[in-house]
Structure 1
Amino acid sequence: MRLNEIVFTDAKPVDGYGPGFFRIGGQVLQGAVIAGPQGTQTWAGLEDAETLLGLAGKVDVIFLGTGAEVAHLPDDLRTAIDEAGLGVETMSSPAACRTYNVLLSEGRRIALAVLPV
């Protein structure tokens, strides 16, 4: 039998989402949201690079949901994330939520930053 050490964090799965809101770990949050090992909180969106950069060293990848459609990140934000050594995967918010939930269940070091649909 193989035993793996489990490290519990404050990361919660996405339970649902809709126009302008996300339900994460049973809590409904309006607007953009960031979730991961630091817990779940509202987020100021793509203009708030500081919050994303604060995840450096705590996560390996951030799944960044850009709303209903995939959009490119602003060049300055992409550069700052790369310089911080963070991996970022940009996708639609529904796809980011699904991917986050799957990898969270596997115990991966990940975070979710999503804009509402």
Structure 2
Amino acid sequence: MRPTDYAAGAVPVDGYGPGFFRAGGQVIHGAVLVDGASAQAWGGLDDLGTLAALAGRIDVLFLGMGAAIARPPADLVAALEGLGIMVEAMASPTAARTYNVTLSEGRRVACALLPL
């Protein structure tokens, strides 16, 4: 195995545990949004504005629904897809790993993760 290579300044998800995520050299408690250049607390599924601000900067949002996969709110998905952001919902650990892999490929991605 070899370490994953990321572009200079790229911010991967470094780890997670019950109620927190580690990304960009910081620990964030609760939901988190990581967009390739930064990591920040996120207001959860009701915080459409923060996700909508990614329009034009990302192509795909990996939406981590917590410990298990769940269906995201249809209105959230429709609003983001209307802005040109494809949404892929999965469990948060899977979303974090998928985000890291596609980030290492240089793709325009972000992940919004609900805590475990």
TM-score between the two structures when normalised by the length of structure 2:
0.89
Where structure 1 has 5 or more consecutive residues not aligned to the other structure, the ranges are 1-5
What is the aligned-residue RMSD (CA, Å)?
A: 1.6
Query: Distance between the aligned counterparts of 2:37 and 2:75, measured in 1?
Result: 24
Counterpart in the other structure of 2:96: 97
Shift, 1:14, TM fit: 1.0
d(CA) in 2 for partners of 1:7 and 1:38? 10
**TM-score normalised by structure 1 residue count:** 0.88
Match of 1:72 in 2: 71
Q: Paired residue for 1:36?
A: 35
Identity %: 57
Task: Using the TM superposition, give the Cα deviation of residue 11 of structure 1 relative to its aligned residue in structure 2, in angstroms.
Answer: 3.5
User: Bigger shift: 57-66 or 70-79?
Assistant: 70-79
2:67 partner SS: coil
Residues 7 and 22 of structure 1, relative CA distance in 2, 3 Å threshold: closer
CA deviation vs aligned residue, 1:21-40 (integer Å, no higher than 9, x gap): 00113211100000114511
Identify unmatched segments of 5+ residues in structure 2.
1-5
What does residue 88 of structure 1 align with?
87
Number of matched pairs:
111
